[in-house]
Structure 1
């Protein structure tokens, strides 16, 4: 009979639990887990070679067990390698099955001898197809639910049990929940009409964005910004096209940009100069080294990102020593101690 054990600090709403499963003599020990999709799966008792099949998953695994990763989804940027943990510096790029980077090649994955695949629950419409795909190379699949920042607190608790890092996972989960609580408490009573009007410019030309109800823009909403592009998310990928004329009419007070070349373009463009935020010079680059603080990929970096945004939007309501908090966060989640020079480079 399998014996069960309790996940440390895991809230009742999380339907991910683990159980030990005795194996027949002569076989590698396995255990049964109930993943975040509610599936019961037999996995190795102590999986050593793990592949995160999508960037949000891989980044989460990187935080808690980088030495168990067999590959990454997209190449690391060379100018940011000093911010990566040494365990991940030489990992091969294996692609992704979630729309970022090149498509996975099953033969290439099999050659890396993984004993566990972790997939991103929110991206897949048909989980069975993902499971069947990796079953062809004989590797079990578990799913992580990573739709919201709240989900990451639960995902760390679950993943901590999978890789035997319960204490570390509990610390990370607690940090995320505390950041969410403090930001929400500081901004909860701001009336909708008084919230800072924000435009999220994702592309080099500034004309790709995402709806206020999209998971891509969740940090803006948590920090009580009014994402001016009000609509329902039409696709998981996002990046909806919009015109400068629409942006002018929506009157953003601040622009968050994901492309460092965009501010220069906006300031030199006769059309963009009609946008309120451009007139006032309020265009802010989103920090992205070594992982993006807000989006693409969405990750636990948002726990730092929402604090940065709340301080940017409402400095008197949410005072924050951004440098000290960044150093604390990078030490806990990324396993690196950053210098003042590193911080300056991250924030440029």
Structure 2
């Protein structure tokens, strides 16, 4: 018996010394997948079609490929020295020097041999096999292969230092609202997986993004599944700042946390994503447009003396937004006064008596609220509340998502609410504004049917 317990103690000691084995993929490195075709000026990188100025050449059974196109698509650097007729390439820790009409190369300071390069129209072509061997990739077929991407440092919106590919083509989104931030950047085609949480109207989302319903499930921001994420070979995972990302980071997957629970956070996230996705101009244009609407509202309403008091109902009339939720900021940016802004937390339950004490001028119901405008107006207990007496009870609009959610459409929610609160001062033509918004942010032309869905008849 003593021997038995001794063996158990030894086994426990071994377990304490050697931690659990890491998940498969602990050495994960983002890669680019290339496909070329002999004589074709079109090639694919991560399923995106690109053009070549020199087509690949088949010599014997080996395909020779313009090396510059490969290196640049991976985010590496390549330069030509006309005096020495040499090419220098840097891709992460790999440094390669090649010469025209020489089969000798210098790989990380050491001589190596490759197939004789081909020079065509000023471009150097290397065999597929040599490109893969030089840069540590994997051959998939006679005309396709994978290579590691150039990695760079960045800081996400929470201030975390992250290592991401310089060229990002494959994005897994774990947070629904983060997904929509890719649209003003014209990067929605990079989405390879979306979250399981279904907070969008998928029929409307599919109008804006036709392949939305066919994009696979990438798991949830609340409980991310690392094995599922790895299947998509992502360059980047985007999610909100509260996501438990420890396991994702441990396997080496680049993760950017986005602080999107406020309007300022949404704007900051658009700027950040524009930087790391290589679309700073698109980000700048979107921010100029969105800020112009917010600034207009502020200029028309900030000096008003009698600010309207607003109560926002979430899932039901007696459930409202505490100080940490974006609904308070939507009201504040409309220059209304949220009567629940001092309540701590997120979703907060209140009593009818509290609503009576708040005596709001306006009651706004989320579109997912169980109560209706009619049920509130006909509630006998609420008849002395200003909002009910003056019939100022409204439902927040929605299209892809509800306009009170932390995503770009919340800007339209602010425009709508400011128009409700201060029609004489703000006076937006909401139909025209909605058309302009969806074209500018989602590159989508609203139909009359869409407008009726958003604003009613």
TM-score class, shorter-chain normalisation, is 0.7 to 0.9
User: What are the Cα deviations for residues 219-250 of structure 1, in whole angstroms up to 9, with x where unaligned?
Assistant: 1011111112241432xxx1100111211221
CA RMSD of aligned residues (A): 2.5
d(CA) in 2 for partners of 1:82, 1:28: 32
Alpha carbons of structure 1 residues 267 and 251: separation in structure 2 relative to 1, 3 Å: same
Unaligned segments of structure 2, at least 5 residues: 1-75, 78-89, 95-134, 136-147
d(CA) in 1 for partners of 2:398, 2:93: 48
Question: Which residue of 2 is the match for residue 202 of structure 1?
Answer: 314
User: What are the Cα deviations for residues 57-113 of structure 1, in whole angstroms up to 9, with x where unaligned?
Assistant: 222124431111122222343442454312433223334325xxxx33222222222
* Matched ranges for 1:218-229 at <5 A: 218-229=329-340
Question: Which residue of 2 is the match for residue 110 of structure 1?
Answer: 230
Bigger radius of gyration among the two: 2
Q: CA deviation at 1:42?
A: 1.9
Secondary structure class of the residue paired with 1:178: helix
User: What are the Cα deviations for residues 131-170 of structure 1, in whole angstroms up to 9, with x where unaligned?
Assistant: x221244311122233432333332222112222222111
Q: CA deviation at 1:325?
A: 0.7
* TM-score normalised by L of structure 1: 0.81
Whether contact under 8 Å (1:52, 1:61) holds in the other structure is no
d(CA) in 2 for partners of 1:79, 1:42: 36
Question: Which residue of 2 is the match for residue 345 of structure 1?
Answer: 453
Question: Which residue of 2 is the match for residue 6 of structure 1?
Answer: none
d(CA) in 2 for partners of 1:233, 1:68: 38
- Tell me if 1:318 matches 2:429: no
Question: Which residue of 2 is the match for residue 153 of structure 1?
Answer: 267
* Matched ranges for 1:55-134 at <5 A: 55-64=176-185, 65-73=187-195, 74-75=197-198, 76-81=200-205, 83-98=207-222, 103-121=223-241, 123=242, 130=245, 132-134=246-248
Whether contact under 8 Å (1:293, 1:302) holds in the other structure is yes
Whether contact under 8 Å (1:153, 1:174) holds in the other structure is no
Unaligned segments of structure 1, at least 5 residues: 1-18
Larger helix proportion of the pair:
1
Larger strand proportion of the pair:
2
User: What are the Cα deviations for residues 198-221 of structure 1, in whole angstroms up to 9, with x where unaligned?
Assistant: 110111x31110136743320101
Question: Which residue of 2 is the match for residue 190 of structure 1?
Answer: 304
d(CA) in 2 for partners of 1:198, 1:294: 14
Secondary structure class of the residue paired with 1:42: strand
Secondary structure class of the residue paired with 1:61: coil
* TM-score normalised by L of structure 2: 0.63
Question: Which residue of 2 is the match for residue 5 of structure 1?
Answer: none
Question: Which residue of 2 is the match for residue 4 of structure 1?
Answer: none
